[in-house]
Amino acid sequence: MKANTQDLLKAGVHFGHISRKWNPKMRPYIFMKKGGFHIIDLSKTVIKLDRACQELKKIVTLGKKILLVGTKVQAKEKVFFYAKSVNMPCVTERWLGGLLTNFTTIRKSVKKMNNIEKMKKNGTFDTLSKKERLLINRLYTKLYRNLGSISFMNHLPGGIFLIDPFKEKIALSESIKLKIPIFAMVDTNTDPNGIDYPIPSNDDSSKSIDIILQFITKAIQQGLLLKKNEREEKKSINEK
C-alpha cells in the first residue's frame, strides 16, 4: 500500500490552516494560498509519508512498540481503533505529564491498576467493605481511563506518532528529551523542527487523520509480519 496524491486529495489532506495562522517553517510544504487558506503540497506529503512508513517498519521489526497519540476530539476514536488493530499502545485522553520522562512511576500506577483487576478476578475485591469497594472502583476508573491503553507498554516506545504536535506539546517535548524518534502529522500552523519524520497534512479533518493512520498502521503491520517471519525462521533453524 503506497501513498498517492489522488487518494490524499480525496481525503482532504491538502487543506491547511487559515494563512494568517501559519508557521513560516512550514513554507517548504506549502503549494499555494487559496481563499485565505494555505494548501499543502501533496507531492511532498507522499515523499514524507513513505519515508515515515519505511522507518516505522524498521523500528517494529526490531521488536519495539510505537506509541500513537491523538487527544483531540476528531482523532480519539481513530487513534484507538488503529492502535488496537496492530496491538500498539495509544493515548487518546489527557497526556499525563511524565508519561515518558517519569516512566518508572507510570509503570507503578499501571501495576496498581493490574492488581485491582486481579483482586476482582480472584474474589478478594468482594470481601472488602462497600466503602472500600467504592474507593477502589473510583481509583480503577481513573487509572484505566488514563493508562488502560498503554498497560502492556513495558518499556519506552521505539517511536511515537503524534496526530497534532501543536496540541501534544508535552508529549513532543518528552520525546525530544529522551531522543525517541518522532513521527507526526504537521499542519501549516505547526513548527516541524524537532520532529524526525514530519508528514505535512491536515490534522483537523477526521478523513485526513483516517487515511494517514491507514498508511502508518499498514507499515507497522508489515514490520510485525517481518518480525514474526524472522522469529519463525530462527526457530526452524534451531530445531534442525
Q: Which residue has the cell 513554507?
A: 27
pTM, entire model: 0.93
DSSP, res 37: E
Residue 106: name the closest of 143, 69, 158, 157 by CA.
143
Q: Which amino acid is at 82?
A: Y
pLDDT of 234 reads: 78
pLDDT of 1 reads: 64
- Tell me the per-residue pLDDT of 185-213, one tens digit each, with 9 for 90 and over: 999 999 999 999 999 999 999 999 999 99
Q: Which amino acid is at 156?
A: L
User: Which residues of the chain are in CATH 3.40.50.10490 domains?
Assistant: 5-97+156-239
> What length is written for the chain?
240
Given a cut of 80, whether residue 117 has pLDDT beyond it is yes
Q: Taking the CB of residue 76, how many other CB atoms lie within 10 A of it?
A: 18
pLDDT of 110 reads: 93
- Tell me the per-residue pLDDT of 140-173, one tens digit each, with 9 for 90 and over: 999 998 899 999 999 999 999 999 999 999 999 9
pLDDT of 131 reads: 92
Please tell me the class of the 5-97+156-239 domain.
alpha beta
Average pLDDT for residues 77-82, to the nearest whole number? Answer: 97
Average pLDDT for residues 70-90, to the nearest whole number? Answer: 97
Given a cut of 80, whether residue 235 has pLDDT beyond it is no
In order of 5, 27, 89, 182, 212, the CA distances from 41 in angstroms are 9, 10, 31, 21, 15
pLDDT-based confidence at residue 230 (cuts at 50, 70, 90):
confident
CB 71 within 8 A of CB 94: yes
Average pLDDT for residues 102-130, to the nearest whole number? Answer: 92
Q: Which amino acid is at 153?
A: M
CA–CA separation, 89 vs 111, rounded Å? 16
pLDDT-based confidence at residue 240 (cuts at 50, 70, 90):
low
- Tell me the per-residue pLDDT of 51-61, one tens digit each, with 9 for 90 and over: 999 999 999 99
User: Which residues of the chain are in CATH 1.10.287.610 domains?
Assistant: 104-148
CA–CA separation, 238 vs 124, rounded Å? 44
Residue 170 exposed, middle or buried by CB count within 10 Å (0-12, 13-18, 19+): middle
- What is the architecture, at CATH level 2, of domain 104-148? Orthogonal Bundle (1.10)
Residue 95: name the closest of 4, 175, 204 by CA.
175
Please state, for a pLDDT cut of 70, what percent of the chain lies above it.
99
pLDDT of 24 reads: 93
Q: Taking the CB of residue 4, how many other CB atoms lie within 10 A of it?
A: 9
